[in-house]
Structure 1
Amino acid sequence: MPTAASSPKNEITIVGAGIVGLATAFHLLAEGHRVRLVERGGVAEGASFGNAGAFAFSDILPLASPGMLRKAPKWLIDPLGPLTIPPRYLPQITPWLVRFWRASLPDRYRASLTAQGGLMRFAATATQAMVAQADLAGHIRADGNLQLYESEAELAAAQPGWEARAREGIEFEHVRGERLAELQPGLSPRFVAGTFTPHWQTVSDPYHYALALFRAVMARGAGLVHGEVTGVEADSRGVRLRLADGQVLNAGRVVIAGGAWSRPLARSLGDFIPLETERGYNTTLPPGAFDLRRQLTFGGHGFVVTPLSTGIRVGGAVELGGLKAPPNFRRADAMLTKAARFLPGLRTEGGRQWMGFRPSLPDSLPVIGRSTASPAAFYAFGHGHLGLTQSAATGKLIADLVAGRRPPIPLEPFRPDRF
């Protein structure tokens, strides 16, 4: 395994060993590159550890949307609701919110929707290929997703989004009555309709899936360095990474895939990228806490319930509160309380709570591309809720850029300098 002292300067160093960094390593290794991962914490112990575990290829609607702007004022009133901004953080996040508002304007929303749709189509293909090559199929469930509505008016309000998905060729079925009960027995009668997306997939457990990919990456010859990268410098000879413990790592090229911690690293290269942090919460209940047939989405309340091999995960919501504030697990409690009302019979004892940081950009699209400062530096971060879903696609796109190949989808919407 290469070490900090012996790593050759033509090696590609990836900052971040979460799911995006691991998928990028997998694709670069497949093309014969030397690859080294640098991770500030444990492998896949950030957002890759406790996410909702979905390959959400049909989730093409950007969070920055006219619909979100209509919902936001009502949600923000409730400090434990689907969207909250702690008052102390508001001055810091205001510039990001202005960009979010601009991205929600109709013409920009349509452009983001088109870009997201193209990335998702490619992600479905790239994920299928990586799962086969890395022998990950045993971690995949193909039960579909059921989105639930408490009124016909709520379903009608969601209709433009489903029409947009239909234009992308995404299959779905609006259901009621016996068909709704068949797809998920034991629902509260408050839910009068649902939309079933049959090709939606989940993983057995996102952490276990990421660790399996990590093992595949290490078996193919990757190196791993534990340390926090505090700065990146580039010149004609390659790149230098400065670590918090004083080490300096040299490499021919670098990929910044550090999730919510990527912004200062891009800034050290001279690129300002308005990355923010969505703090997400969940509770994972023991296996058998409910007869859950598939992932359920309670869109009006901003959370999902997912069947995992390790239990039943209740989580979601958005707290725009930065990286430094302590967790507010009352948000996890609030979602669990609602889940118990929505799924009578759900046993809520014995749960494990978690909070993680989703790296989010104002237009709901990730940054995938070269740094403006150096052709030796690449960015692969900002996927928001969709890091697992888009990880294989991002890794393949970075491999194409490193090789100088034309990527299979336009990367203009994902440019680092688009802001």
Structure 2
Amino acid sequence: MSATQEAELHDVAIVGGGIIGIATAFRLAASGQRVLLIERDMPANAASRGNAGAFAFPAILPLASPGILFKAPKWLLDPLGPLAIPPAEFPAMLPWLLRFLRASMPDRIEASTAAQAALNRLTTEETAKLTREAGIDHLVRRDGALELYESEAEWRASLAAWKRCQEAGIEVEHVDGERLGELQPGLSPRLTKAVFMPQWQTVSDPRDYALAVLKAAQDRGVEVMTGHVASLGETARGVRLTLENGREIEAQHAVLAAGPWSKTLAATLGDALPVTPERGYNTTLPPGAFDLKRQLIFAAHGFVITPLETGIRVGGASELARFDAPVNFKRSKHMLDKAAAFLPGLKREGGVEWMGSRPSMPDSLPVIGRSPRSPRVIHAFGHGHLGLTQSAATARLVSELILGENPSIDISPFRPDRF
């Protein structure tokens, strides 16, 4: 009998120790499953470490949209713009970009928006449930967010999108003048209009939040292992996970939640999925750098400013580039320059720069569902900018698939074979 046959058979093995994998481990363990979480580095050390820390429940409009067709060419030509592709990366990213442009056509947008709205409604409920059960409700701030505009014309151009959000049940308040200054004192006079979203939430620090969920999962019996999974395959008992060092692990089910690294592992099953690394940059300033009341969103410039327990985080933007492409911290410096112009009192000293890769799909929707080739493998990745936001809902849906329950929402828009 081989060592693999003698080894304990786990109920579920999760590949990926980011917030998606961690939240899924927690939910499965709470359902009585024996869970092994495998992470190649340290848990919550990639995008779950340096993201903007938002539960962006109102963010239902996909990045792929009709308006992007007019903005993208200008952005792509600007190496410091909200969406950039370094020239050397363009050939490798062209197939993804063509799918992105196709997903931006009007006939695709309504379906994508409806799917995102359904997922975000579910995640609003599931996040409250997860934080309550894990005993970490104190790590969540419920003070909303402000999306800011520099002119009346810019604000008016956004009204159709806000109307669509309101139709989906999202609360919005259009503000200016004294009300704007009340919600966030110290803004530049350049910022004349804003939209306040009271349902928006943030966390004390995204890494601290993820590790707190992980601690709660471990308290429920989740085992955490460091290892680099090289391939996945079916066995008579379920799924075989082969590590880079040759070790083999078996489980009745496997969950692939390795962010942008999921593409390579999915390919070992024969699943071809167009997930690509989308880099984000930020600078975290020390606490007290500005009296920030809530997250500020500068959509036209592609960045946000977030109040964290660990400081003031200025970051965002999108750069499509392979993992080994040169890092361009000019992008984080450029966003910090803009932040200082919008917040004249911002203290810029002592900042720490960071870059991390998000897993992005061309249609802005995640992949949630069974592998077409290996039904015991559940794909759960590709959340782009909404990984933290949608982590609790993804955990719920994955758990339902593994337990043989009907999914809480229609998951066909997220199916792995939609491309």
Q: TM-score range by the shorter chain?
A: over 0.9
Conserved? CA contact 1:235–1:374, under 8 Å: no
Structure 1 residue runs of 5 or longer lacking an equivalent are none
Report the counterpart of residue 351 of structure 2 in structure 1: 351
Between the aligned partners of 1:388 and 1:194, the Cα distance in structure 2 is: 24
Report the counterpart of residue 41 of structure 1 in structure 2: 41
Deviations 1:233-291 (A, max 9, x none): 11332111111122111111100000110001111111111001110000000000001
Deviation at 1:323, TM superposition (A): 1.2
Report the counterpart of residue 25 of structure 2 in structure 1: 25
Conserved? CA contact 1:259–1:381, under 8 Å: yes
SS of the equivalent of 1:224 reads strand
Report the counterpart of residue 162 of structure 1 in structure 2: 162
What amino acid maps onto 1:164 in structure 2?
Answer: R
Between the aligned partners of 2:256 and 2:373, the Cα distance in structure 1 is: 13
Between the aligned partners of 1:219 and 1:83, the Cα distance in structure 2 is: 41
Between stretches 236-245 and 147-156, larger displacement belongs to: 236-245
- Where do residues 15-414 of structure 1 align in structure 2 (5 Å cutoff)? 15-414=15-414
Between the aligned partners of 1:10 and 1:215, the Cα distance in structure 2 is: 20
Conserved? CA contact 2:10–2:35, under 8 Å: no
Between the aligned partners of 2:99 and 2:332, the Cα distance in structure 1 is: 28
SS of the equivalent of 1:225 reads strand
Report the counterpart of residue 11 of structure 2 in structure 1: 11
Conserved? CA contact 2:255–2:378, under 8 Å: yes
Deviation at 1:165, TM superposition (A): 0.4
Deviation at 1:8, TM superposition (A): 2.1
Between the aligned partners of 1:128 and 1:275, the Cα distance in structure 2 is: 29
Runs ≥4 in structure 1, deviation > 3 angstroms?
Answer: 4-7
Deviation at 1:10, TM superposition (A): 4.2
Conserved? CA contact 2:366–2:381, under 8 Å: yes
Conserved? CA contact 2:277–2:323, under 8 Å: yes
What amino acid maps onto 1:45 in structure 2?
Answer: N
Between the aligned partners of 2:10 and 2:327, the Cα distance in structure 1 is: 41
What amino acid maps onto 1:306 in structure 2?
Answer: T
What amino acid maps onto 2:255 in structure 1?
Answer: V
What amino acid maps onto 1:146 in structure 2?
Answer: L
SS of the equivalent of 1:262 reads helix
What amino acid maps onto 1:136 in structure 2?
Answer: I
Between the aligned partners of 1:36 and 1:218, the Cα distance in structure 2 is: 10
Between the aligned partners of 1:357 and 1:85, the Cα distance in structure 2 is: 14
Between the aligned partners of 2:347 and 2:78, the Cα distance in structure 1 is: 26
Between the aligned partners of 2:237 and 2:29, the Cα distance in structure 1 is: 22
Deviation at 1:76, TM superposition (A): 1.9
SS of the equivalent of 2:158 reads helix
Between the aligned partners of 2:123 and 2:6, the Cα distance in structure 1 is: 35
Deviation at 1:305, TM superposition (A): 0.2
Between stretches 406-415 and 64-73, larger displacement belongs to: 64-73
Deviation at 1:146, TM superposition (A): 0.4
Between the aligned partners of 2:69 and 2:41, the Cα distance in structure 1 is: 35
Deviations 1:31-82 (A, max 9, x none): 1111001001111001000000000000000011011222112222221111
How well do the aligned residues superpose, as a CA RMSD in angstroms? 1.3
Between the aligned partners of 1:223 and 1:281, the Cα distance in structure 2 is: 32
What amino acid maps onto 1:248 in structure 2?
Answer: E
Conserved? CA contact 1:7–1:251, under 8 Å: no
Deviation at 1:398, TM superposition (A): 0.4
Conserved? CA contact 2:239–2:252, under 8 Å: yes
Between the aligned partners of 1:92 and 1:154, the Cα distance in structure 2 is: 34
Conserved? CA contact 2:20–2:380, under 8 Å: yes
How many equivalent pairs are there? 417
Deviation at 1:399, TM superposition (A): 0.5
Deviation at 1:5, TM superposition (A): 10
Q: Please, what TM-score do these two structures have when normalized by structure 1?
A: 0.98
Between the aligned partners of 2:75 and 2:7, the Cα distance in structure 1 is: 50
SS of the equivalent of 1:57 reads coil
Conserved? CA contact 2:10–2:36, under 8 Å: no
Between the aligned partners of 2:189 and 2:234, the Cα distance in structure 1 is: 60
Deviations 1:294-334 (A, max 9, x none): 00001110000000000000000000012111321110000
What amino acid maps onto 1:275 in structure 2?
Answer: V
Percent of counterpart pairs with the same letter? Answer: 58
User: In structure 2, do the counterparts of structure 1 residues 10 and 228 end up closer, same or farther at CA, with 3 Å as the change threshold?
Assistant: closer
Deviations 1:177-218 (A, max 9, x none): 111111111111111100001121000000000010010011
Structure 2 residue runs of 5 or longer lacking an equivalent are none
What amino acid maps onto 1:144 in structure 2?
Answer: G
Deviations 1:146-190 (A, max 9, x none): 000001111111111101100011101111111111111111111
What amino acid maps onto 2:290 in structure 1?
Answer: F
Deviation at 1:120, TM superposition (A): 0.5
Q: Please, what TM-score do these two structures have when normalized by structure 2?
A: 0.98
User: In structure 2, do the counterparts of structure 1 residues 7 and 334 end up closer, same or farther at CA, with 3 Å as the change threshold?
Assistant: farther
